[in-house]
Structure 1
Amino acid sequence: MTSTVNDSAPTGARSPARQYRSTKVRRQRVRAAWTFLAPMLVVLALVAGWPLVRTFYFSFTDASLSDTAGAVFIGLENYLVYDSGQWYGVLADPVWWGSVWNTAYFAVVSVSLEVVFGVIVALILNAEFKGRTLVRAAVLIPWAIPTIVSAQMWAWMLNDQFGIINELLMALGIISSPIAWTADASYSMWAVIMVDVWKTTPFVALLALAALQMLPKDCYEAAEVDGIHPVRVFFKVTLPLITPALMVAVIFRLLDALRVFDVIYVLTSNSTSTMSMSIYARQQLVEFQDVGYGSAASTLLFLIIALATIAYLYLGRNRLQLGGE
């Protein structure tokens, strides 16, 4: 008996007609996606792309705030130039490197504290207790307050003359005299970090809580039956499962922290002890009216943020892949 089955065709192989239809549908979906994305990409190019290109261009010129049209191309002089036995430019400015250090320190410490406190708050809000809905709403209040408003509010409370923070600490006997929290270089950075952590911890807690709500309950029931300690369950089960959500929170917070401006400027203005890269660029652009020099600082800020984001995403992806294996 002659078999009518084509032995040369692999099992599960699709016919050419079916493959053609699948490819055609895929191409239609891609075209539809680009059609819907096109208006947004055009608006994004006009709103963000064009100013970014102009910033790159001005960084190679001697443009000033009073005369941007008469800018002359000067190459890399705004970045780094050697003249008369001395280096000049943004990369030779110790104030710039101080702002880089301040920004990096602020970003690492504030984001780390926000992740730790955010996870703790999320675990508390995930537990069953009376009034949980009201507490969840109250926790989001600091995040809902505009940054300028919260920074100014804390500036009043941290004031060394009439601030309530000093009054409370002296009443409790912790300090004997008022402290200039935002003026003293020994305390100003930590004051800024404290305000930022208070403001944005609810954002991390919200993402962590959403991840906790999606975790399977059977894992915890099995751990409870086996008598495993809750701390071990957290580090072995809960934390690995919510890591993707925490990575999203960290990347958003890291981007905000690296380009931080408002909270530091409101609390400490142009103080070199807390000056961030954004404040440095703003000072060159607005106060010194040196558009070329300020654009060079802004370009370096953009490159630093881009490199930090790429490195974080690359390392995070590799970690998740290794964890999956």
Structure 2
Amino acid sequence: MSTTTTEAPEERPQKNRMSDRAKAEQRLGWKLAMPAFIVMVAVTGYPILQAIWNSFFSYRLTDPDNREFTGLSNYIVSLTDPVFWTSMKMTVLVTVFTVAVELVFGFIIALVMHRIVIPRRTLRTLVLIPYSIITVVSAFTWFFAFSVDTGFVNRWLEWLPFIEQDYNWFGGFWSSFFVISLSEIWKTTPFMSLLLLAGLAQVDGSMEEAAKVDGASWWQVLVKVILPNMKAAVMVALLFRTLDAFRIFDNIFIMTGGANDTTSLSVLIYRQTIDRTEIGLGSALSVILFLCVLGIAALFVKGFKVDLAQGRN
């Protein structure tokens, strides 16, 4: 007579199960952030809802009595306008180019500030100087530096074959794009480097030493040890800078005013709302910009898949 034994099924560990400590830290985080969150919602909630409401109306500020509900027509007009897509192209180009360059240079500066020992505080203070300057002041400075009449850049670079004393940097798209991007990179790279420096400070030095003992090269240590352990800092730095660059306004408004197809979404919104007093159309563009920003934030959080409670279980 044969007997069959029934084996108890193995219990598989549940994935993504939070420990009690992680849950406690999450509750504490919500409690600490809730007052600021309530204030933020109270301050920004009404303008956002008002903009959404105005976007459904044909409404000019110079003729407030002649207000007509038009539904989604403002969104249709915006999305079918070639000017909108030209502005979107400029916005995306500036965002991708400046953030990519800032990430590289910001990481290099962060590495230098992290490794250097003697003048560490002085170096960090000097690096922050460009970021401490008001954006409008910075934009005017770069504009006057590259201007044909008041600039000195042409005199410094006249030894180059394609640069002359009367070269107009703001006379074409790509030259204007270069100056606008350069001013943005100079101004905000220190912010990127500070966020990355905070991530470097969280990397365990013993892990780097162990990798070097095992024969890993500097590049392997960087790719296999340093970058994976500062993934959260990289995500925060890229997210903050991408959202900020996507809303670029000051540099473009001061340097070109949107000429040569350099209009960004924010400049386009200003033109519709302030210059043409088209409150309904400007509100629709503002809502589109807001949705784009939300989409970018969701993509970054989803794409990086950072677990902020990792290592605390």
Instruction: Give the TM interval when normalised to the shorter protein.
Output: 0.7 to 0.9
User: 1-side partners of 2:239 and 2:136: how far apart?
Assistant: 22
Which residue of the partner structure matches residue 51 of structure 1? 47
- Higher mean C-alpha displacement, 179-188 vs 256-265: 179-188
User: 1-side partners of 2:217 and 2:42: how far apart?
Assistant: 55
Aligned residue type for 2:247:
R
Partner of 2:116, secondary structure, is coil
What whole-Å deviation, never above 9, does each CA across 1:268-300 have from its counterpart, x for those lacking one?
Answer: 112252111111111011111111111111111
Task: Please tell me whether residue 110 in structure 1 is matched to residue 98 in structure 2.
Answer: yes
The higher radius of gyration belongs to 1
Aligned residue type for 2:72:
L
User: 2-side partners of 1:132 and 1:235: how far apart?
Assistant: 25
User: 1-side partners of 2:55 and 2:107: how far apart?
Assistant: 42
User: 2-side partners of 1:272 and 1:302: how far apart?
Assistant: 25
Which residue of the partner structure matches residue 159 of structure 1? 147
Write the mapping of 1:152-301 to structure 2, written as runs, cut at 5 A.
152-170=140-158, 175-301=163-289
Partner of 1:72, secondary structure, is strand
Which residue of the partner structure matches residue 78 of structure 1? 74
8 Å CA contact 1:126–1:213 kept in 2: the answer is yes
Which residue of the partner structure matches residue 34 of structure 2? 37
What whole-Å deviation, never above 9, does each CA across 1:180-236 have from its counterpart, x for those lacking one?
Answer: 223322311121111111111111111111221222121222233334221221111
Would you identify which runs of 4 or more consecutive aligned residues in structure 1 move more than 6 Å? 318-321
User: 2-side partners of 1:298 and 1:92: how far apart?
Assistant: 16
User: 2-side partners of 1:74 and 1:151: how far apart?
Assistant: 39
Aligned residues: 284
8 Å CA contact 1:189–1:273 kept in 2: the answer is no
What whole-Å deviation, never above 9, does each CA across 1:32-82 have from its counterpart, x for those lacking one?
Answer: 939x835x45543442111111111111111111234542211122122xx
TM-score normalised by length of structure 1: 0.80
* Structure 1 portions without partners, runs of 5+: 1-21, 81-88
CA separation of 1:319/1:158 partners in 2, compared to 1, >3 Å: closer, same or farther?
farther
Aligned residue type for 2:34:
L
* Structure 2 portions without partners, runs of 5+: 1-19
TM-score normalised by length of structure 2: 0.83
User: 1-side partners of 2:110 and 2:88: how far apart?
Assistant: 32
Which residue of the partner structure matches residue 313 of structure 1? 301
Partner of 2:263, secondary structure, is coil
Which residue of the partner structure matches residue 11 of structure 2? none
What whole-Å deviation, never above 9, does each CA across 1:229-283 have from its counterpart, x for those lacking one?
Answer: 2122111111111221010001101111111111211111122521111111110
Aligned alpha-carbon RMSD (Å): 2.6
Which residue of the partner structure matches residue 19 of structure 1? none
